[in-house]
Amino acid sequence: MRPRLSCLLLLPVIAACGKETPAPVAAKAALPAIVEPAVRTVKDGDAVRFLFDSPEAYAVTVTVRAQLQGMEADRRLPLTRSSQGAREQALFTLRPVPGGAGGKYRYEWRWQCGDAGGVHDGAQAYLLPLAPGADYELIQGAGGSFSHQGASFNAYDFSAPEGTAVRAARAGVVCATRADSDRGGPTRDYADDANYVAVVHADGTVGWYLHLRQHGVVVEPGEAVAAGQVLGYSGNTGYSSRPHLHFEVYKPLSGYARRSLPVRFDTGAGEPQALEQGRYYQPAAGR
């Protein structure tokens, strides 16, 4: 399940919004209140201005789509923007078509963690994202036939007993979590049922940790995490045929689309390396 929020507005000003709500977690006094990404509209005479608020702690990418009748936009739509710490950031304005008899519009929007304009640091070495002290089989690697195609082509599935500590492969800021699901199974019917943690890195890419157990997330949005820090505990939720951890690094292309990126891992065997499906890897203590 992607960490997104969508909103629909119909004239005359009837709005319906829905968002994924993570399970409640204990508040941490040191964390500032998180500003939820939000697209808002402001009427200005016969024009309608679209504005965007974004969180202070991490970058997000939003896309707004619209269907117009008798109205026109001053920017090409759909419109995608990446933003961090913005308040009332101007996106675009709608106005009635000159000489028309009025107009109406319908719009929707979604957001994803990360910066669509970011450039991945190809020299970055990632930690193996599981607790040290055990060997973990890479049961599905990049291009795996079970589920690693399309947007998740460059993803890695590590077999891990349920309850194994999941640790940050790279430092960043937690952008989104889910921990309330108790559903999982080997068909796409369960694709929206995974628990997860998404961490935005300094270059705007996102580390995505998927299939965590119910109530198995120990961090919250806005929290800065160090490489190696425990994020939660592995499970078998979502589209999953066995207990394991799905890890990928992706770049948002829009609020609706993403592309996973090839990465290399510090395995303790010299230079960072790409991982091979079917091999076992042991995270080193201190790495």
- Whether 202 has a pLDDT exceeding 80, the answer reads yes
pLDDT, average across residues 42-47: 93
3-state secondary structure 199-239: EECCCCCEEEEEEEEEEEECCCCCCEECCCCEEEEEECCEE
> What pLDDT, on a 0 to 100 scale, did the predictor assign at position 286?
61
> What pLDDT, on a 0 to 100 scale, did the predictor assign at position 25?
42
User: For residue 248, how many other CB atoms are within 10 A of its CB?
Assistant: 22
pLDDT, average across residues 79-105: 92
Sequence-separated (6 or more) residues with CB below 8 Å from residue 46: 95, 96
8 Å CB contact between 82 and 60: yes
Is the pLDDT higher at 140 or at 59? 59
Sequence-separated (6 or more) residues with CB below 8 Å from residue 15: 7, 8, 9
- Whether 137 has a pLDDT exceeding 80, the answer reads yes
Integer Rg of the chain from CA:
21
Kindly report, residue by residue over 221-273, the tens digit of the pLDDT. 999 999 999 999 999 999 898 999 999 999 999 999 999 999 999 988 778 88
pLDDT, average across residues 14-34: 45
Give the whole-angstrom CA distance, residue 56 versus residue 114: 13
> What pLDDT, on a 0 to 100 scale, did the predictor assign at position 99?
80
Q: Provide the terminal-to-terminal Cα distance of the chain, rounded to the nearest Å.
A: 29
> What pLDDT, on a 0 to 100 scale, did the predictor assign at position 10?
28
Quote the percentage of the chain above a pLDDT of 90: 69
Please state, rounded to an integer, the average pLDDT across all residues of the chain. 86
> What pLDDT, on a 0 to 100 scale, did the predictor assign at position 23?
40
∠ at Cα 171 (110, 28), nearest 5°?
75
Q: Where are the domains of the chain?
A: 5-113, 125-281
> What pLDDT, on a 0 to 100 scale, did the predictor assign at position 227?
96
Token pair 């800021």 is found at: 173
8 Å CB contact between 54 and 89: yes
> CA-based diameter of the chain, in Å?
72
pLDDT, average across residues 152-169: 92
CATH number at 125-281: 2.70.70.10
> What pLDDT, on a 0 to 100 scale, did the predictor assign at position 1?
36
Distances (CA, A) of 46 to 14, 51, 73, 96, 97: 17, 16, 13, 7, 11
pLDDT, average across residues 80-93: 96
Give the range among 56-65, 111-120, 125-134, 260-269 with minimum mean pLDDT.
Answer: 260-269
- Whether 20 has a pLDDT exceeding 80, the answer reads no
pTM: predicted TM-score of the whole model, two decimal places: 0.84
